Chain A
Amino acid sequence: MTEPGGGSSPDKDTAGEAELTRDQNRTDAPGVPAPGAPAGRQAAEPAGGTGPEEPTGSVTQRFGRTVLDSILSANTVTVTVLAIFIALVVGAILIVVSNPTLTSEYGYFFGAPGTVLADSWSVVAAAYANLFKGAVFDPATVSGAINGTNSWSQAFAPLSETLTYTAPLVFTGLAVALAFRGGLFNIGAQGQAIIGAIGGAVIGFDLPLPYGLHVIVALLGAAAGGALWAFIAGALKARSGAHEVIVTIMLNNVATLLLGWLIVQKGVHDPTRTDAISKNVDKTAKLPTIPGVDHNIVRVHLGIVLGVLAALGIAWLLQRSTIGFRLRAVGANPAAARTAGMSVGGAYVLVMVLSGALAGLGGGMQVLGTTASSLTAQVTANIGFDGITVALLGRGKPWGVVASALLFGALHAGGNRMQSFSHVAIDLVFLVQAVIVIFIAAPALVKAIFRLRAARSGGTPTTLAKGW
């Protein structure tokens, strides 16, 4: 992912890729008209930007310089790492400021600077230690598991929590990222996730199916729900040019209200309860957890595996398939793509449907996984909007999305423990996430703060989508 000196778009070897596409066009894409092949090369030009100059020199020299370059110049990795670092520093300051004991100590800072700083350090260190213990592992439970005082499942519980929070974010992150690459800003992942959750849950409790088949059908239902919801926005964009940002925002509201209405209707509402909650999803439709382990403690389920597979699929789709090439071409320059004979409207619809299906799966995770088993008004939490930040942090790339979803999942899981054990409000975690994204969105800030030199070419992209 380093891409030293890489351009703003992932097309490192434009020519090679166009070559590949031309071959594919000739053999397996009969829908594309014959002129598509040479025009595909044209369309790839704007996507690729200015190709990097071939560096000269021996391989080791080149490698060494590349590594040094990538550390000292403002490329995506350094900017991302430094943005996380700045966010943690800002978080530390806020931990100190929001701690009443420490703020009163700062009243006599110059009386005893050592004590005050040491106290501040210990508070911040304890908070971040709990963040780590809640997200990765707690040495106490690990040694406890070795000594036999507690079960191994407790030792793995933090990691499992992280992965449980990560799974839906991978899907919604991929959804937003894929739309970015197709040149669309899908703000509607939240609404698509809600419809996906509805689709998954309704199949989960109203369709009696055997083990195995049920969960697959429920997942398909979730994907179909999200795809349908996104199709509305995609079709409106393709047909009438209605802006997808506006349409998806409005569809978010429609989805939220639809969910609120649906859960109190007959057939969906749990008749044994009087509050606004749906029936429970059948056990047969639940995503399997690790067998033989108490799933109240180790909550991780198959969703995270599916998430990684989805990332793999999207990576393949974008980099290796004709469809992916067409989507990226349309995303990079719709006019050029149209000139090349590609159907821009068709690509918009397709990218939205795929994006919606992913977001729908993310919503499905919430009801088919271990976080909830019935629909409530807030069952999808905030995964759709978090997906936008995950996609931004992941730079719109499938594996970047997986990594940033993992970071967000870890922050959330650790934040729960930090709040519980160190009394630092969970909001701090969201603030840290927000600060990370602010700095990612404004790489010039990071460059200025750390006096990084600009990357050789391309540098850090600021605009991911050409939505406006």
Chain B
Amino acid sequence: MNALECRRIQKSFGSVNALCDASLSVRPGEIRAILGGNGSGKSTLAKILGGVVRPNQGEIKLFDKTCSIRSPRHSKRLGIVITSQELSLFTNHTVETNLLMCDIPRSIGVFTNRARVKHVGRQVMDELNLSHLIGKTVAELAANEQYMVEFAKALIQKPKILIVDEITSALYREEVELVKQMLFRLKENGTAVLFISHRMAEIYSICDSVTIMRNGETVATVGIQEKNENELLSMMSGRDVTDVIHSHTGSVATADGPPLLMAPQLRLSRFGTQFDFRVQPGEFVGIAGLQGHGQSDLVRTLFGMRGSVHLKLEGQDLHVSSPRKAVAARMAFISGDREKEGVFSVRSLSENLAAVKELVMGQTGLAADAVLREQGVKFASAKQPIRTLSGGNQQKVVIGRWLVTNPKILLADDPTKGIDVQARLDVHHMLCRLIEKGSSVVFVSSDDEELVQLAHMAPSARILVMYEGKIVRVLTGLDITTENIISASVPRGARFK
């Protein structure tokens, strides 16, 4: 008997095919990894099972019974629970209310039983060593704590089929270990688990089998012991990746001389920490660390988004009190959150491209078509609204907006988040060309591998690892490896200090 069977699921959003042929079957008590690149359709599949997205075609069977999932409510009634990377938590509610949101206990059948909410919530959180969070609102929690609450919320619903969608990427090792134990316990009780992740080590230690997805299709399902890491990655990308991943053996130069940018006693207000920060001309500075440890705050503070900040740019004193001032000093900022902070979605490509150069710096004569072609944007007309482009192409336009201003220093806050592999490479090349012209780049990324790759592409580079709002490690030269970044990101025993 299969707990879950999907056959030829197909889904398109407008003209974009998110899923074209997804088929898989999972037995009760099986932990199945779903492995795939960005845009391979993993999350869409999860959302279809969760009832949030309606499939165009295909058949879903639960415990050998065909059913069409009509709504999130229906999905939950069928025993399907999803923990999502986008989090389902409400920031204005307490942890325990969130935990029991989907099945609120009542007294005399009518009123919310607050005592029971607290009690049940505490039980689950105890098992996860997190009972100290009870009573806090979700808004007060750190990112990793929120992800653990999200996981706890799933456990409370006693799922028959559990879908874990990339929540482990923001967790500490000890927490991942806890998640693993819980998943094993569910497995013993016959729960089928779909484990969506891109962390190979976790997949190997947690899962029984793995389904690989590519371009909206399930290309293969294999037992976890049957293939090694490189073989899986090759299947995932459709080409041989052995060399790409382990090719960075050379050293990376470190720049010296007078710095381009100095930020003496830079203060991160959210953490109350202070440190000196500098960038050399033509340097690539990667900022690494677990999510939410001040990487984003660092670049945002430099760009004047957290109040006034004192900088020295090329030896000149500079008070940056707003992004506007930063732009005037020829600084640039790219956000990874395209929807909220990047694109003017209803406006045209040329308007998006000219936003800074024409409207802020007052320069005219921007040849939109030429620039778009040069950046490798796939487009029909510069007049089309930017929302008609794919995510990767949108981000290229946003980056192009800044490149045409010839910035002295470009700050990037995880700019390749959620865009496909090819667009990501294009973005890397765009940034490298900028560095070659003598500009500097400060680059925050949640992907350590990406930082290492970029460091090796740049003429000179450093990688700073952050933890709780401080720079805990500076990696230079031969030390720039993913292993070093990871080990510096999680200081020993930090979890229990």
Q: Do A and B come from one complex?
A: no
Q: Which residues of B contact A (CB under 8 A)?
A: none
Q: Which residues of A contact B (CB under 8 A)?
A: none
